[in-house]
């Protein structure tokens, strides 16, 4: 199968959600869909991504989007993840990897020189007619909604170096005041 591109028809699928209910992409005709693939429930990056989408779910719905998360985890694990993080959207259990293969998200990865197969963190934004209108392949897990909607700003987190410089300046200023105070006390006692 050729790689999916913006403007391609999104492949239809049927897969179970966390409750064992069958979900078809064609059921969403007339609505936009955020179909996001992620590696594993309850891991730091995947939790950050899910929580960003959870926190912005009302906004996404107002803009006409339905959110569907996809991983190879089981229905049972999805149910636990949803309960733990209070996720308002469905997670699809692609345990046989058929949906991953349809969308080209089951890929060879490498960690510490070891090669293995796993899920590529990719999001497909599908329009009301089932056409892929955008593909986010470099997902910012903490600001994923801003990548989808594009007109809301990403949350800026200060760089570690900037934080440590600020902290160092604050500590130095406090220490300098403490030394000056102590020196003043010593000078008063000498008088």
The residues annotated with a catalytic role in the active site are: 46
Query: What is the Cα–Cα distance from 182 to 177, expressed in whole angstroms?
Result: 9
d(CA 136, CA 150): 11
- Give dist(CA 35, CA 112) in Å, integer: 29
Beta bridge partners of 132: 126
Nearest to 50 by CA among 130, 99, 121, 156: 121
- Name the phi and psi angles at 63, rounded to 5: -85, 5
């Amino acid at each position: 199968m050729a790689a999916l591109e913006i403007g391609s028809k999104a492949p239809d699928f049927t897969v179970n959600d966390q409750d064992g209910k069958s979900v078809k992409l064609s059921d969403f005709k007339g609505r936009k869909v955020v179909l996001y693939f992620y590696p594993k429930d309850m891991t730091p990056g995947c939790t950050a991504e899910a929580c960003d989408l959870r926190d912005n779910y009302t906004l996404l719905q107002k803009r006409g989007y339905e959110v569907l998360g996809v991983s190879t985890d089981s229905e049972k694990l999805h149910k636990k993840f949803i309960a733990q993080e209070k996720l308002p959207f469905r997670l699809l259990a692609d345990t046989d990897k058929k949906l991953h293969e349809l969308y080209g998200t089951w890929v060879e990865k490498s960690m510490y020189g070891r090669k293995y197969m796993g899920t590529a963190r990719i999001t497909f934004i599908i329009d009301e007619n089932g056409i892929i209108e955008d593909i986010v392949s470099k997902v910012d897990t903490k600001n994923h909604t801003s990548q989808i909607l594009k007109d809301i700003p990403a949350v800026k987190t200060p760089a570690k170096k900037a934080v440590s410089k600020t902290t160092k300046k604050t500590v130095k200023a406090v220490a300098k005041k403490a030394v000056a105070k102590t020196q003043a006390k010593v000078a008063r006692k000498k008088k």
